[in-house]
Amino acid sequence: MTHHIRVLDTASASGPQSARSRIPGVPQAGKPVERLIRAGQRLFHQGDAASHLFELRAGILRQTRTLESGERQVIGFHFPGDIVGFAPDGIHRDDCTAITDGRAIVHHADARTLADRSPELQPRLWAAAMQEIGRAQDQLVMLGRRSASAKVEAFVQYLIERAGNWRDGQVSVDIPMSRYDIADFLGVAVETVSRSFTDLRQAGVIEMTDPHRLTIRHPAALANLR
C-alpha cells in the first residue's frame, strides 16, 4: 500500500547516530541543553518513554506513525519555534526524525513535569500545547478535502504560512521534505502529489525552479483556491 522504509530512515539508522541510542549530550536530569541535530537523526521513537521535550530552534522535523500493516502516516512537520515531544500517557506513539540539520533546546522532562518544575515556562508550554492541538485540527481539515489537488494546494498554503519568505509582494518557500513525505502527510499516492504539483505549475499558480523550491508570484491566486 504505502511506502515501508525510506532512505533517510535507513541512512540515520546506519549513520553516526545509532537508531536506539539516547540523544547524545543530554543529561539525565537538570538544566536544559542546546543540541545540534543532523539530518536523518531520530529524536524519539514510537514506543519510547516521553522523557524529553524539545524546543526547536532551527531545522525541520517530521513526525510519523507506522501501522502494523506497514503503512506510514506523517502526523506532522515541525518548524523552528515549535515545542516538540508532547505525548499522552507518557509514551511516544510516533517517530520524530530530522529532515534537515537543526538545533534544539532539550529539556529532560515531559510537559507536565516541566510545568511543575519550571513555573515560568508554563505560559509557553500551554501555548505550545494549544498550538499543537490547533495544528493537528488544521491538518484534519487538509486531509478532509475531497480531491487530491485540493489537498496539495492546501499543503502549499500550509507551508507558506509556516515557513514562507515574503518579498516584493511574492512569496517563496523551501520544500525540504520529499514527495513521499508529502504523500504520506496528505494520504495520497506519491505520483498524485507529483502530478498535482505539475498541474499547479501549468495552471500558473506556482513556479518551481527545482522540486524543493517553490515561488508564488501572485499570492492572491492561491487564497482564492481555499
Partner DNA sequence: CGCCTAATTGATAGGTATCAACGCTTGTGG
Partner DNA sequence: CCACAAGCGTTGATACCTATCAATTAGGCG
**Could you say which of its own copies, DNA, none residue 191 binds, taking C-beta under 5 to 8 angstroms by partner kind?**
DNA
**Distance (Å, rounded) from C-alpha 126 to C-alpha 132?**
10
Query: Residue 140 CB, nearest distance to its own copies (Å)?
Result: 6
Q: What angle do CA 56, 58, 62 make, to 5 degrees?
A: 65
Q: At what angle do helices 122-144 and 179-186 cross, to 10 degrees?
A: 80
Q: Cell 482564492 sits at which residue?
A: 224
What would you measure as the largest C-alpha separation in the chain, in angstroms? 54
The stretch near DNA (CB under 7 A) out of 73-81, 92-100, 102-110, 185-193 is 185-193
* Element counts in the chain: helices (H) and strands (E): 7, 12
Q: How many residues does the chain have?
A: 226
In the set 146, 168, 169, 223, which binds DNA (CB under 7 A)?
146
In the set 18, 122, 165, 198, which binds its own copies (CB under 8 A)?
122
Residue 8-37 contact track with DNA, rule CB under 7 A, x = bound: x-----------------------------
Q: Site residues (CB under 8 A) for its own copies?
A: 1-2, 65, 67-69, 71, 73, 75-76, 86-89, 93-94, 111-112, 115-116, 122-123, 126-127, 129-134, 136-137, 139-141, 143-146, 184, 187, 226
